[in-house]
Structure 1
Amino acid sequence: MNYRMIGFLIGRILLTEAALLALPTVTAILYGESPMPFLTTALALAAVGLLLGSRKPRQSAIYARDGFAVVALAWILMSAFGALPFVLSGDIPSYVDALFETVSGFTTTGATILPEVESLSRGILFWRSFTHWVGGMGVLVFVMAILPMSDGHGMHLMRAEVPGPSVGKLVSRMSDSAKILYGIYLVMTLLEIFLLLAGGMPLFDACIHSFGSAGTGGFSNRNLSVGAYGNAYYELVIGVFMLLFGINFNLYYFLMIRRFRDVFHSEELRAYLGIVAAAVLAIAVDVAHLYDSFAVSLRHAFFQVSSIITTTGFATVDFNTWPTFSKGILMVLMFVGACAGSTGGGIKVARMLILGKTALSDMRKMLHPTAVSAVRFEGKPLADQTVRSVHVFITVYLMVFTVSFLLLCLEGFDLITTFSALAACINNVGPGLEVVGPMGNFSGFSPWGKLLLSFNMLVGRLEIFPMLLLFAPSIWRRRLIRPVQNGI
């Protein structure tokens, strides 16, 4: 374990967070609010960051376990410091509540403890939603895009942070890959802001909802979320962009370099769009009797399916009032999630496809024991290690979910609220059902319950292993080990 290099990298990350606080500081000044909560936090971050990251150690090599430690510690510390503006401004006096809100922001979950948000200061509202944008593509991917970093460092950090069954380079250098990803991310965000402005949405609101769509987070500056506008154009723009941000960003790069065949032949993309289409149609038919026309039910179904499968969490209606079948579909979509390599959460469509293909292959072997049946994905045979990694991920995911669920049951809420609250947090969705539904919030949970759910949000966003490995004694030993491949 290279402690000095871990400290150096975390110091650079905290300095980056200090710089990011410039935007909400400017926002607060523009709206005549005190910038001190942001300036004070930025100074604290800068002091700690300079202490840790002022001098690069001579031994700069990092290994896989170092990468896991850096990613997990960086997300915890960024959330811990990021909660300070909420407390210092007085908008969220309780630090535990502020930490829950900040973790929810950075992990792009969108779960909130706030019963209403419109009374919050503009600077705080901006910071609250801007954490979605920063956390969406990945905090460390952002650092890699703006700071010089060797490929050896970048690969371990990117594998530990970027969601999906596998992580690779778009181009020869990992830092250049990070720049390409964030370039695409920025352009798409600006395009959504422009389209919302073209429809008449105020600039501040357009930025807030674009940050939430891009990071698939779901924080809004309206108590009724997107439904407060009652505008079909806004719903269409935000709904489409949520779906777009739920697609693997590698495919956008392939479009840029004219590799259209790779895009059109993507199994995960076809499955993702197919699931969305089937879910929208099924829900639209099921809720048609609740609305004036089938077109309206189709519009609401599309928006909610787009919001839930991408784990964004925006809402236009209270789907708590929908029939059980429709709520059941949305609950399933919480677990399915978006595509690997996107800003969305959940288990991911790619893993679902691999699990399904593996199950079919094993059943064929039961019928024909001597037959050779390779599992293929995206037109290529899958390595046994990749299949095993997916199985390990699902196994550990279920173990964490089960233990967390039993602990959360001690809170005393009804079964649906408890189950959906945990599902919404560990899958980074945001709203659940019943008490924590789209018109509810998480304020009723005790402080330890909020900390447990915050841990689950981090576990879900970092895809389990970086957070769990923090508790493994072997990760903190000084003896260096060979780099290992993280194919999960």
Structure 2
Amino acid sequence: MIHFKAIGKIMGALMFLIGVLMLPAASISWIYGENSVPIMASAAISLFIGMIFFFSFAKYDQLIRKREGYLVVAISWLIMTIFGMLPFLLSAEITSISDALFETVSGLTTTGASILTDIEGMPKGLLFWRSMTQWIGGLGIIVLTVAIFPLLGIGGSELFVAESPGPTSDKVHPRISETAKRLWYVYVGLTVAAALLYWVGGMTFYDAVNHSLTTLATGGFSTKNASMAFYDSAFIQYVAVIFMFLAGTNFTLIYFGSVGKFSRILKSDEFKAYTGAVILLTLIVFAGIMINSETGTELAFRNAAFQVVSLITTTGYVTDDYTQYGMGITFICFMLLFLGGSAGSTAGSIKFVRHVVFLKNSWLEFKRIVHPRAIVPLIINGEMVSGRIINNIMNFLLIYLSTFVIGSLVISLLGYDFATSLGSVATCLGNVGPAIGKVGPVDNFAFFSPAAKVVLSFLMLLGRLELFTILILFTPFFWRAN
């Protein structure tokens, strides 16, 4: 039997928290002389309903088991979406429910795809809330990775847990609160550092804070129509590259680095693969830009590094239109949508740890064929990976690619061309932002029909919550009584 009342108590606390987090955006509206009523009303609604839920179920303290865990994760993101839409709708800056749904889901899942055609014309308070949705979603996914996904057995997260001083793969460790606190310090500290450097580099304080929120969340929402291309500053763009790279790194490794435990970083196979891929792909794209354009060497390198890091970490900031450098570079950038950063980071998509496991296991399979009686273990970070985790990751990859194919088919059946269908599904499922076709780096998603926006919103949630967390709710045995 599922303990719905215990879930209701948690949801009440979440609604209350969302209301509190809206207050800074309302303050921004007031400071800039804008109408703060829509955001204040949204906060009041969230706070009021949250208190009703929390106190109605306050006496229920049943243990949250695995099945409740799946529901908590799924319902939490649904609740955040519903209440996150309110400031957009009540302000009438976005009047369509499908548009508000898309923009809010894109924010919370840190996708960065947008339906807004004039970002700079939006009220500053509302843009700040838009940035906050990404920062909230980025922090939320870290907490999920540490506290919830290992409990649910989400493939790849157990490997992240091996680096973490908190939970194990089958229970929430008593030190989970300490782990979450450390990661919170890292997340907030990096956000503040990025804001200060953006400010020093020439952004206004308001823009610096907004961009720091969306950089560390690997979200990519900007306060400018041209995204990071608006800032023709090598300093600002290199700062963005550095912090996007850090945001795509396992936050536990960043913590270990901050306390001098560099050996933990050096033994991480995922970090080595992540770093190596960024360097190699930057050089390839840099060479492609130099060959296919007359761009200067430094600018070509900066654009290559920026777009590679932005796409791999699923941030989605833009400084250049990579589709103008020929099909080869466009294809490479499209493939980057399927990489993702590290497990335990704010990045989306497949994640490097899964690619590492897949490639290593595939290579070892040749050895197993030649020596069928030999025991050939898969070693990651110096430790043997269990067969259950390998199987889970292989299933994840198959389901991910199947979802991409089915999603592309659905979008194409809704009337969109081949490249746009592939690009929109790949970027939404991977929580990236820009793609190919009519959703390239200088385009947006405003032209999609309401049905297509709902489908793409669902794909964003599906990808952000590691597929299984949502898909298992559609299975009949999940709802059967124990």
The Cα shift of 1:50 comes to 1.6
> C-alpha distance in 2, partners of 1:429/1:139?
15
Mean CA deviation greater in 396-405 or 374-383: 396-405
- Residue 59 (structure 2) pairs with residue 57 (structure 1): yes
Tell me how large the CA RMSD over aligned residues is: 1.9
**SS state at 2:314 partner:** coil
Query: Which position in structure 2 is the counterpart of 1:111?
Result: 113
Selected match of 1:473 from 467, 473, 476: 476
> C-alpha distance in 2, partners of 1:354/1:386?
9
> C-alpha distance in 2, partners of 1:160/1:426?
21
The Cα shift of 1:473 comes to 3.5
Deviation per residue, 1:14-56 (Å, 9 max, x gap): 1110110011010110010111111111122122212221142
Residue 165 of structure 2 aligns to which amino acid in structure 1? L
Residue 17 of structure 2 aligns to which amino acid in structure 1? T
**CA shift in 2, pair 1:413/1:246, >3 Å:** same
| 8 A Cα contact 2:199 2:208, kept in partner | yes
Residue 26 of structure 2 aligns to which amino acid in structure 1? T
Query: Which position in structure 2 is the counterpart of 1:223?
Result: 225
> C-alpha distance in 2, partners of 1:57/1:323?
62
**CA shift in 2, pair 1:160/1:41, >3 Å:** farther
Residue 157 of structure 2 aligns to which amino acid in structure 1? P
The Cα shift of 1:321 comes to 1.3
| 8 A Cα contact 1:309 1:334, kept in partner | yes
Selected match of 2:293 from 290, 299, 310: 290
The Cα shift of 1:258 comes to 2.6
Question: Equivalent residues in 2 for 1:215-294 (5 A)?
Answer: 215-288=217-290, 289-294=292-297
How many residues matched?
Answer: 469
**SS state at 1:357 partner:** helix
**CA shift in 2, pair 1:398/1:434, >3 Å:** closer
Query: Which position in structure 1 is the counterpart of 2:169?
Result: none
Deviation per residue, 1:209-267 (Å, 9 max, x gap): 11111000000011110001111111000111100110001101212333211112211
**SS state at 2:474 partner:** coil
Query: Which position in structure 2 is the counterpart of 1:190?
Result: 192
| 8 A Cα contact 1:160 1:462, kept in partner | no
Query: Which position in structure 2 is the counterpart of 1:484?
Result: none
Over the matched positions of the two proteins, sequence identity in percent amounts to: 36
The Cα shift of 1:477 comes to 4.2
TM-score by length of 1: 0.92
| 8 A Cα contact 1:71 1:161, kept in partner | no
| 8 A Cα contact 2:149 2:157, kept in partner | no
Residue 170 of structure 1 aligns to which amino acid in structure 2? P
Deviation per residue, 1:369-415 (Å, 9 max, x gap): 22221111111111111111101211221222222121111122221
Query: Which position in structure 2 is the counterpart of 1:141?
Result: 143
Gaps of 5+ in 2: 167-173
> C-alpha distance in 2, partners of 1:301/1:126?
29
| 8 A Cα contact 2:155 2:396, kept in partner | no
- Residue 409 (structure 2) pairs with residue 406 (structure 1): yes
> C-alpha distance in 1, partners of 2:324/2:348?
25
Query: Which position in structure 2 is the counterpart of 1:430?
Result: 433
> C-alpha distance in 1, partners of 2:24/2:294?
41
> C-alpha distance in 2, partners of 1:74/1:252?
27
The Cα shift of 1:161 comes to 11
| 8 A Cα contact 1:114 1:441, kept in partner | yes
The Cα shift of 1:116 comes to 2.2
Question: Equivalent residues in 2 for 1:54-453 (5 A)?
Answer: 54=55, 55-138=57-140, 141=143, 155-156=147-148, 159=151, 164-166=156-158, 167-168=160-161, 169-171=164-166, 172-288=174-290, 289-453=292-456
The Cα shift of 1:137 comes to 2.2
Deviation per residue, 1:172-197 (Å, 9 max, x gap): 52122111111110000000111111
**SS state at 1:372 partner:** coil
Mean CA deviation greater in 158-167 or 187-196: 158-167
| 8 A Cα contact 2:377 2:384, kept in partner | yes
Deviation per residue, 1:435-467 (Å, 9 max, x gap): 111111111111111001000000111111121
Query: Which position in structure 2 is the counterpart of 1:462?
Result: 465
| 8 A Cα contact 2:155 2:389, kept in partner | no
**SS state at 1:336 partner:** coil
**CA shift in 2, pair 1:9/1:163, >3 Å:** farther
**CA shift in 2, pair 1:326/1:141, >3 Å:** same
Residue 294 of structure 2 aligns to which amino acid in structure 1? Y
Residue 181 of structure 1 aligns to which amino acid in structure 2? L
> C-alpha distance in 1, partners of 2:329/2:342?
22
| 8 A Cα contact 1:4 1:57, kept in partner | no
> C-alpha distance in 1, partners of 2:329/2:5?
52
The Cα shift of 1:156 comes to 3.6
| 8 A Cα contact 1:351 1:390, kept in partner | yes
Residue 425 of structure 2 aligns to which amino acid in structure 1? L
> C-alpha distance in 2, partners of 1:157/1:80?
23
Residue 397 of structure 1 aligns to which amino acid in structure 2? Y
> C-alpha distance in 2, partners of 1:28/1:473?
47
> C-alpha distance in 1, partners of 2:347/2:25?
24
| 8 A Cα contact 1:163 1:340, kept in partner | no
| 8 A Cα contact 1:162 1:462, kept in partner | no
Higher relative contact order (CA 8 A, sep 6+): 1
